[in-house]
Each structure stands twice: as C-alpha cells, then as structure tokens.
Amino acid sequence: MVRKLTFPHNPEAGFGAIAEDGTVFLLEDASITVPPDTIKKIIKEQKDELKRRIKVLRNDEPLPEIKDRIVILVDDGIAMGSTMRAAIILCRNKGAKRVVVAAPATAPSTAAEFTRIADDVVILEKPANFHAVAQVYKNWYDVSDEEVIGIIERLQINQEKNYG
C-alpha cells in the first residue's frame, strides 16, 4: 500500500508518497515548497493511515512475498507519479524479479519517465493535455473501504471456485 503526501492546503495535489515499507519518495520541485516539519507531520499522518488500511483491508496481514516474482502495479491513472514511484521502489527493495506499471491514462512525458524506471509499462491513453486523473473518467469518486473489501471478497470467492 502507498499513500500520497499531499500539500497542506490542497489534498488533491501531492509532493511525494510513502509506501508501507517506509519508502518515501519526494518530488524535488514540489517538496521544496513545504517546510521540513510539515513534511514530517504529513509523513506521520500517512504512516498511520497506511497502518489503518493494512488492518482494515488486509486483516493486518503482511505484504505478500514478492521476491523473484513479477509484480504488476495498477493505478486508476498516474498524475504526478509519486505513489507509483514509491510502489516501484518498494518492489525493488523487496527483490521483485520484474515490475510492470499499468494504468488507463497518464501524460506522455510521465509514461516516458516510467519506461526508464519500470521493466514494462502499459498505459492505454496518453492525452497531450493531461492534467488530472479525474479528467479521463465519466464518473470519478474515491473508493470506500467497504467497496474495496467487497471487491476483495468477490475475488477470493472466485479464486476458490476456480482453484479449489
């Protein structure tokens, strides 16, 4: 799990991200506008949120073993790319064999950047005037914990049906 580090007065925009293993990625140009004490406070808040989500969404289970495995990181879209970068670093730190980035949309320059840091990149749309993930969706909303839990439960039921 990864959390965006958001600007104090603009929760939609981020200056970096933190992964559940403690990996912190900061966007250099953006993070210089945030005082160091504020960055520490925001990191602490997001660490707490990561712990909460791991408890609620993963029943406090540790991250599955990914050493020597192919990991496919999927996002609903990549804006600044800080959360995806933190996730890639986490996977590299955990010894993933290959890291594949997949998303429906991002800017062409962001897609090009990820081809340099991931083993493979699958992006469906690269609008020239890409500014925010929400712009490529007809119905954009944050997914609730309950919706995520429902998706996980349906996946587990389907896996049991298909694999016993």
Q: What is the CATH number of the domain that holds 53?
A: 3.30.1310.20
Task: Please check whether residue 10 lies inside any domain of the structure.
Answer: yes
Expressed as residue numbers, the domain containing 132 is 2-137
- Residue 134: per-residue pLDDT: 87
Q: What does the alpha-carbon distance between residue 26 and residue 35 come to, in Å, rounded to a whole number?
A: 13
* Domain count of the fold of the chain: 1
| Predicted confidence (pLDDT) at residue 140 exceeds the cutoff of 90 | no
Q: What is the pLDDT of residue 122?
A: 97
**pLDDT band, residue 30 (cuts 50/70/90):** confident
Q: Give the pLDDT of residue 164.
A: 62
